[in-house]
Copies of this chain bind each other. A is one copy, B any other.
Amino acid sequence: MDSEWDKLTLAFSRTSMFPFFDIAHYLVSVMALKRQPGAAAEARKNPLSSWFTAMLHCFGGGILSCVLLSEPLLRFLANSTNVLLASSIWYIIFFCPYDLVSQGYSFLPVELLAAGMKEVTRTWKIVGGVTHADSYYKNGWIVMIAVGWARGAGGSVITSFEQLVKGSWKPEADQWLKMSYPAKVTLLGSVIFTFQHTKHLAISRHNLMFVYTMFLVATKITMMITETPTVSFAPFEDTLSRMLFGWQQQFSSCEKKSETKSSFNGTGSSTSKPIADASDKIKKKHIKKTE
């Protein structure tokens, strides 16, 4: 029975992303672009700019990975087949009569299928990034995590930057710093696959790929059906942040107990934030005074 499982996961890990999964990825990316306000109008006014933005959405992770490793940024354009595929999808989504494609995509099962398939490509990208980074620096495990992460979740970073340059997006410290759910889950995957690659994790790659992909697809589809914006990592994050960054509070709280008495009624994160915010405000006041 174990060999049956192995056969299944091995076959799964050898699935080619081209063309169906790639198409799903381009479809989801371009639809996300089209649902931005003003995107459809802009596409009619300036098709070249819209096409360029669509390419950034589709190939953003690869471009960011190229930036980080200083490989030619235009390498994605060299793969003419994929560029033409993405361009065709951009074209039919934006310029199809009666908006047929958009309307078909709004049908929930179609959207679920496309989103699920897009998540599959994420695993492949992470694995590709980790393996690629390994060929640069032997045992440079931090580089491997970073490149895997960039490939898997870099599209959002690139598009934020693109909007910054266009002027349609004003950066705010808070927004930029908060990691989105895909960024978090991709970071987790990148760490796991890096440990697998450096033989610190005693699991074969195809098994890990299968398990991680199933996890991605399952959470994504659950999120879409229940319409929750994110699956919360909060308990896990709280524990980790309490272990790493919260234990000092016990010392400080001994000192100024009266001040932070109510701190330990709630969970770690809900208490640490008000304190941080308060000290932030005090500092800002301080600056205003000194100015």
Contacts and interface: CB of A to CB of B under 8 A. Distances in A.
Contact of A176 (B97, B167, B255, B280): B167
B66 A74 contact: no
B70 A71 contact: yes
Contacts of A239: none
B248 A284 contact: no
A259 interface: no
A23 interface: no
Interface in A35-88: 37-38, 40-49, 66-75, 77-78, 80, 83
Contacts of A98: 251-252, 255
Contacts of A177: 42, 45-46, 49, 166
A276 B41 contact: yes
B80 A69 contact: no
A172 interface: yes
Contacts of A49: 177
Contact of A37 (B167, B171, B283): B283
A147 interface: yes
A174 to B, nearest CB: 9
Given A166-B173, A167-B173, A284-B37, A273 B45 contact: yes
A37 B161 CA distance: 25
A236 B232 CA distance: 53
Contacts of A244: 47, 95
B95 A245 contact: yes
A143 interface: yes
A171 B176 contact: no
Given A245-B95, A252-B97, A45 B276 contact: yes
26 contacts: A37-B283, A37-B286, A38-B280, A38-B283, A41-B276, A41-B279, A42-B280, A44-B276, A45-B272, A45-B276, A46-B177, A46-B178, A47-B241, A48-B179, A68-B74, A70-B72, A78-B142, A83-B142, A96-B248, A97-B247, A98-B252, A164-B165, A165-B171, A166-B173, A167-B172, A167-B176
Interface of A: 37-38, 40-49, 66-75, 77-78, 80, 83, 95-98, 133, 136-137, 139-143, 146-147, 161, 164-168, 170-173, 176-179, 241, 244-245, 247-248, 250-252, 255, 272-273, 275-277, 279-280, 283-284, 286-287
